[in-house]
Amino acid sequence: MEGKLYVLGMGPGDPELMTIKALGFLKKADIIMAIKTDKEKESKVRPIVSYHLEGFEEKYYEYLMPTKGRCQNFIDCFMELGRNIYKNIKKGNKVAFLIPGDPLIFSIYSYLVDIIEDEFGKLPTEVVPGVISLSEAASIFKMPLAMEKERVGIIHSPSHLDDLPSLLQSFDTLALLEVQISLEKIKERLKELELLEKAFIYLYSQERNQYRPIKKEEETVEIEPGDKISVIIKD
């Protein structure tokens, strides 16, 4: 009997924000797979699994995934993971592949599925959506991301800020995700545009596995490996 791949959105980090459906598939899985980057001590999803399952270590596997800029051939970095998923499914195993947030929003799964299909063909797969970090951030600030006909823009790791004014004109709410490297430049640009007071800044701490607001007046923010900073501008 052929197995199946379950791609589970694990939510933004809080174990209680994992969906009941994803938890059901996680508990039934024969094999659990997750990834971590070379900047992380452990996968972001491991604390979530630990919270829900006892004795999961025997069937839990983490794969090191070098960050894109450090990998000469980014596609090759997925091959070992893809082969192991394929082998386990052919053995009849239920494989849970865990993705932080949602599997189809800024997710590594989009790369992986193309590689698996090119190498092995289509596999029996079910994708379970998850709560994204932007939703948790909005709840922390008690701020509606959009109302009625308002437009929301989401930009991941913007490489430059030249088009920031036009983006702010195009969207009522603009989310800039994972901007820890360029945070100070973003704050300076927003100050020039007289929009800094409308910005909401938050940090994800991997060590604590939680989000917290950052005050705009904080001149320096201590960042540990794996930490992420994002900004929401609400006009």
Span 41-59, pLDDT tens digits: 788 899 999 999 999 999 9
On whether the 4-128 domain is CATH 3.30.565.10, my answer is no
**Residues 85-101 pLDDT 10s:** 999 999 999 999 999 99
> Quick one: tokens of 20?
């009941």
Would you say residue 76 has pLDDT above 90? Answer: no
Predicted TM-score (pTM) of this structure: 0.88
> DSSP string covering 33-89, please?
EEEEETT-SS-TTHHHHHHH-SSGGGGEEEEEE--GGG-SSGGGGGHHHHHHHHHHH
For the domain with range 133-234, which CATH number is right: 3.40.470.10, 1.20.120.80, 3.30.950.10, 3.20.19.10?
A: 3.30.950.10
Parallel, antiparallel or unpaired: strands 210-214 and 199-205: antiparallel
C-alpha distances in Å from residue 213, one per residue of 6, 128, 142, 234: 33, 28, 12, 15
Q: Which amino acid is at 50?
A: S
Residue spans of the domains in the chain: they are: 4-128, 133-234
Question: Side-chain half-sphere of 160: how many Cα atoms within 13 Å?
Answer: 3
Average pLDDT, the chain: 88
- pLDDT exceeds 80 at position 207: no
Would you say the CATH fold of 133-234 matches that of 4-128?
no
The rounded distance, in Å, linking the Cα atoms of 75 and 150 is 38
* In the predicted structure, residue 73 carries a pLDDT above the cut 70: no
Q: Residue 198: in which H helix or E strand, if any?
A: none
Q: What is the pLDDT of residue 218?
A: 65
